[in-house]
Amino acid sequence: MARALPWGGLLAVFFLGVLMQGPVQAQSVALAGMMGSRALLVVDGSAPKTVGPGETHQGIKVISTADDQAVIEQAGKRRTLRVGEAPVNTGASPQASGRGTRIVLTESSGGHFMTPGQINGRAVQFMVDTGATTIAMSMPDAERAGIAYKTGRPVQMSTANGTAQGFRIKLNSVRVGDVEVYDIDAVVMPLPMPFVLLGNSFLTRFQMKRDNTMMTLDKRY
């Protein structure tokens, strides 16, 4: 099942887990950074890979790079990625079904459950983390979702680079597939993250069942 991560050192363990994963089928791709003219791509949570213009990695071709962005192509479709932005979907999305009461997720070969979703109506990419107390997101993700996180309660958080200030907030709504829940606790973290961690403030609203590579979340009443 998804890894249990304590808040202390969350970012350090998270990025270590990313580096230890093997190649997976492309479902999402994020631009983690630039190394000269080469893009540092994270494809569906796999290990970051530097890819130059004209090169292909896990079915993702880099067309061009400039400053903090890269144009990629998969199956004839082109998208522009920017450093720090949420991953974009480039392949099949996990299934969500049940008329607003059930979410069904498929485990990636990297051992994580990934799914696109929405926070306050804005698109994000989630990674299920049963060890996270709440939903956790970066400040750039919070800003893209239109969240005034600085009005939240300041908290001191341990990160890979030492102690930094984050903010505890309340999300109006969180949606995965056709299932939506409201008034969800979350933490905004001071450093960029490739994904939004889907923690227990969301997961405890559901009855969770694991069957091999499938995770089913049935909404509680």
Assess whether 211 and 105 both reside in one domain.
yes
Assess if residue 19 is contained within a domain: no
Assess whether 140 and 190 both reside in one domain.
yes
List per-block mean pLDDT (blocks of 10 residues) for the chain, which spans 221 residues: 43 37 53 84 75 90 90 84 69 44 84 88 89 92 89 83 87 90 93 88 93 89 71
H helices of the chain, in order, are 10-20, 139-144, 200-203
Tell me how far apart the alpha carbons of residues 68 and 58 are, in angstroms, rounded to a whole number.
Answer: 21
Assess if residue 23 is contained within a domain: no
Assess if residue 4 is contained within a domain: no
H helices of 21-144, in order, are 139-144
Assess whether 82 and 104 both reside in one domain.
no
DSSP bridge pairs for 154: 167
Residue entry with tokens 């494809």? 43
Assess whether 144 and 209 both reside in one domain.
yes
Tell me how far apart the alpha carbons of residues 173 and 171 are, in angstroms, rounded to a whole number.
Answer: 6
Q: How many domains does the chain have?
A: 2
Query: Is residue 60 helix, strand or coil?
Result: strand
Assess if residue 11 is contained within a domain: no
Assess if residue 16 is contained within a domain: no
User: What stretch of H or E contains 132?
Assistant: none
In this prediction, residue 157 carries a pLDDT of 79
In this prediction, residue 84 carries a pLDDT of 64
Residue 141's domain comprises 96-219
